Amino acid sequence: MTTHDSAGAPKAPAKDPWDLPDVSGLTVGVLGGTGPQGRGLAYRLARAGQRVTIGSRDAARAAEAAAELGLGVEGTDNAACALRSDIVIVAVPWEGHAKTLESLRAELAGKLVVDCVNPLGFDKKGAYALKPEEGSAAEQAAALLPDSRVTAAFHHLSAVLLQDPGIDEIDTDVMVLGETRADTDIVQALAGRIAGMRGVFAGRLRNAHQVESLVANLISVNRRYKAHAGLRATDV
């Protein structure tokens, strides 16, 4: 946005990075919303007053999960969920990521897509990063959805904490990545709706892989310290 200085000359001062839009009126869809991560995010966002729809391959399962969550959450199939939402969080398992998004290209056109998928493998030694051909899950989404506004966020949240109704605040920052400031600002604002949470801009999609795969490290942290670790950026 171009502003003007006191002399009337056009000038583009550094925008306050905490000057974020009001997103309280936007409808949020959660694809894969019956899984632990999607369900947890749907719960927190609905609890914050956001209008939320859960999507699933199976509309009946989505409706059931939505009814369990209450708070006005609705459930339907992934396509209908995408169509009716302004912001669509992608919380499907990595294994179904490409296929799901490919099948929803039309429904997701023009939407603000927030990918929170962490491509991980597991073996006896624990979790390890998988490297998608496109660089990251988020870049895969961007490649498959040329008509959507793709961002990445919500990677480092504990599904256990998100879903625990006894926990009032989720003490963590959310790294938000994307190519367009207007879009990452919206996602930051959305994260900030959840009590305890803060959205922090953390770079372009080409730097999403390390954010996604850092979950493997958090799993090691959780195991060693019997914790549900999140991350806070200091000095920010």
Element (H or E) spanning 211, and its range? Answer: helix 208-225
Nearer to its own copies, 127 or 150 (CB): 127
Q: Check binding of 134 to its own copies (CB under 8 A).
A: no
Give the Å distances, CA to CA, from 41 to 12, 48, 52, 206: 36, 11, 10, 24
Which of 89, 129, 144, 145 is close enough to bind its own copies by CB under 8 A? 129
Minimum Å gap between C-beta 12 and its own copies is 15
Hunting for tokens 């409808």 — which residue is that?
27
Nearer to its own copies, 65 or 190 (CB): 190
Q: Check binding of 17 to its own copies (CB under 8 A).
A: yes
If phi > 0 it is left, if psi is from -120 to 50 it is alpha, else beta; for residue 45 that is alpha
CB contact at 8 A, 31 and 89: yes
**Secondary structure (3-state) at 170:** coil
Q: Check binding of 214 to its own copies (CB under 8 A).
A: yes
Distance between CA 23 and CA 192 in Å, rounded? 10
Q: Check binding of 201 to its own copies (CB under 8 A).
A: yes
Minimum Å gap between C-beta 202 and its own copies is 4
Minimum Å gap between C-beta 62 and its own copies is 30
Q: Check binding of 80 to its own copies (CB under 8 A).
A: no
What is the footprint of its own copies within residues 216-235 (CB under 8 A)?
216-221, 224-225, 227-235
Q: Check binding of 125 to its own copies (CB under 8 A).
A: yes
Minimum Å gap between C-beta 119 and its own copies is 11
Distance between CA 54 and CA 65 in Å, rounded? 8
Size of the site for its own copies (CB under 8 A): 43
Which of 11, 72, 126, 182 is close enough to bind its own copies by CB under 8 A? 126
Helices (H), 123-206: 137-144, 159-163, 181-193
Which of 58, 147, 171, 182 is close enough to bind its own copies by CB under 8 A? 171
Q: E strands within 12-145?
A: 27-31, 51-56, 74-77, 87-90, 112-115, 120-123, 126-129
Which of 108, 175, 187, 194 is close enough to bind its own copies by CB under 8 A? 175
Minimum Å gap between C-beta 49 and its own copies is 24
Minimum Å gap between C-beta 218 and its own copies is 8
Question: Which letter does DSSP use for residue 185 in this model?
Answer: H
Distance between CA 102 and CA 109 in Å, rounded? 11
Residues of this chain that interact with its own copies (CB under 8 A) are 17, 125-129, 131, 158, 161, 171-172, 175, 177, 200-204, 206-207, 209-211, 213-214, 216-221, 224-225, 227-236
